Amino acid sequence: MHSPNRELRVELGDRSYPILIGSGYLGTMDLTPWVAGDRVMIVSNETVAPLYLDAARRCFAGKTVDTVVLPDGEKYKNWQTLNLIFDGLLAHRHSRKTTLIALGGGVVGDMTGFAAAAYQRGVPFIQIPTTLLSQVDSSVGGKTGINHPLGKNMIGAFHQPEVVLIDTATLTTLPPREVSAGVAEVIKYGLIRDVSFLAWLEDHIEQLMALDAEIMVEAIYRSCACKADVVAQDEREGGLRAVLNLGHTFGHAIETFAGYGNWLHGEAVGTGMRMAADLSGRLGMLGEADVRRVNRLISRAALPEVPPVEMTPSDFMELMAVDKKNVDGHLRLVLLNALGDAVVTGDFDISQLQSTLEAFAGNRSPEKALGRI
Ligand code: NAD
Ligand code: GLY
């Protein structure tokens, strides 16, 4: 197939943009209608560039195409690496008529988007996400940024892309661990907004994990539809958008504790969603059978069941205290009122949170911890 077979729009007035989804069309797709000037800068990394840079270049026939290839990894999502993009733009004398192209996973996408938000006070950019996680989450919605040693994604900007091009064929080169990490975010959409999608995932999770092209396009389409709908209602996270962070408060604590890059973002979110479901159960919001249903689906996606073994409940409390959802130092979490119905709240019994943290990260050997959950 040489064109996308599904299309969605993120409706944001004059900043609306399409999400194109299909399999095997990167390299034959003409993206120049979304490029205003005559130059583009493709930003990728040392893993993705050898695989897909040539195909991406072909999307911009007739334009001058420069490239910046970054080191690969979450640990490079920082100021120093960001500066390599500005170095490239300035060395090649890109004006404010340039368009930046993010070719890679969420790390490249977030950094390129942030560079686009800041370069000459803001230039357009295009997302070509190549991991499942970036195809269903980070490439859509305009959150861009970098990490700080004291907190993940703490420096950034909202900056929407011109278009998102999703080619599921790029997933065939993705390591299985990265596929699982992406599936965690797919499951998230079913849990927060769409119980019928959750049931569909329960029926198709093995095909999804095996990268069945039709199932994958459908899962990405439904995930992006959910995200686009939430972003259209609450672009700057005044309220609703925070539900997209189910499992992320626990997950960010895990990622920061483990050291950026040691746990994948989606892996940490998978464990975090178990913890959020557990707490929702303890608070009487979710029945036991539903908590078990969440755990079973996350297990089928081959995601880790418990946080790093050295991590304690007080590590969680300390790291969760810097979460962006907190208001005036008051912890807020995304919990589940029911499957398919998430809520953001600071109104919960803190002793039940302690019980969840004890169950997942209390005095334990990994085997004991697994037995308790
Ligand atoms: P990533 O960008 O680190 O990519 C994972 C690995 O896969 C990297 O080694 C990458 O080089 C490699 N890779 C990428 N595409 C490949 C391909 N097609 N074949 C083979 N290897 C490939 O990680 P990610 O999971 O894509 O993204 C995680 C990042 O996204 C985190 O920094 C997280 O904070 C961010 N994020 C942002 C948002 C947002 O709304 N902006 C949402 C979720 C996550
Ligand atoms: N990944 C959460 C958001 O985009 O808001």
For residue 106, how far is its CA from the centre of ligand 1 (angstroms)? 4
Per-residue b/e over 195-210, b at no fewer than 16 CB within 10 Å? eebbebbeebbeebbe
Known catalytic membership, residue 248: yes
Give residue 153's pLDDT: 87
Residue 1 is given by DSSP the state -
CATH code for residues 176-368: 1.20.1090.10
Amino acid sitting at position 164? V
Note if 94 is an active site residue. no
User: Average pLDDT per run of 10 along the chain, which is 373 residues long?
Assistant: 85 98 95 97 98 98 98 95 98 98 98 98 98 98 92 92 98 98 98 98 98 97 98 96 96 89 92 98 98 98 96 95 74 96 95 97 63 38
What's residue 339's pLDDT? 98
Q: Is the CB of 163 under 6 A from ligand 2?
A: no
Q: Ligand 1 centroid vs 73 CA: distance in angstroms? A: 8
pLDDT reported for residue 365: 59
52: its two tokens: 């897909």
The residue from 39, 77, 94, 143 that is catalytic is 143
| 105 in contact with ligand 1, CB cutoff 6 A | yes
Alpha helices in the chain (DSSP H): 49-58, 79-91, 106-118, 132-133, 176-193, 195-209, 213-233, 248-258, 265-282, 288-300, 313-320, 350-361, 366-372
User: Is any ligand 1 atom within 6 A of the Cβ of residue 133?
Assistant: yes
296 is catalytic: no
Q: Which two tokens stand for residue 147?
A: 């990490």
Q: Is 121 a catalytic residue?
A: yes
204 is catalytic: no
DSSP symbol at 211: T
Residue nearest to atom 2 of ligand 2 (CA): 244
What is the structure's pLDDT at 322? 75
Residue-level pLDDT at 370? 45
The reply to whether 159 belongs to the active site is no
The active-site residue, picked from 152, 245, 332, 364, is 245
Q: Transcribe 14-81 into DSSP letters.
A: GG-EEEEEESS-TTT---GGG--SSEEEEEEETTTHHHHHHHHHHTTTTSEEEEEEEPPSGGG-SHHH
| DSSP secondary structure letter of residue 120 | G
Please report the pLDDT score of residue 4 as a whole number.
83
Structural domain boundaries in the chain: 5-172, 176-368
Q: Shortest CA distance to 310 belongs to which of 246, 368, 236, 257?
A: 257
Atom 3 in ligand 2: residue holding the nearest Cα:
244
Is residue 139 lining ligand 1, measured as CB closer than 6 Å? Answer: no
State the angle between helix axes of 248-258 and 265-282 in degrees (0 to 180), rounded to the nearest 10. Answer: 130
Catalytically annotated residue among 2, 93, 121, 363? 121
134 lines ligand 2 (CB under 6 A): no
Statement: the pTM of the whole predicted model exceeds 0.85: yes
Whole-number pLDDT of residue 148: 87
CATH architecture of 5-172: 3-Layer(aba) Sandwich (3.40)
Looking at residue 297, what is its pLDDT? 98
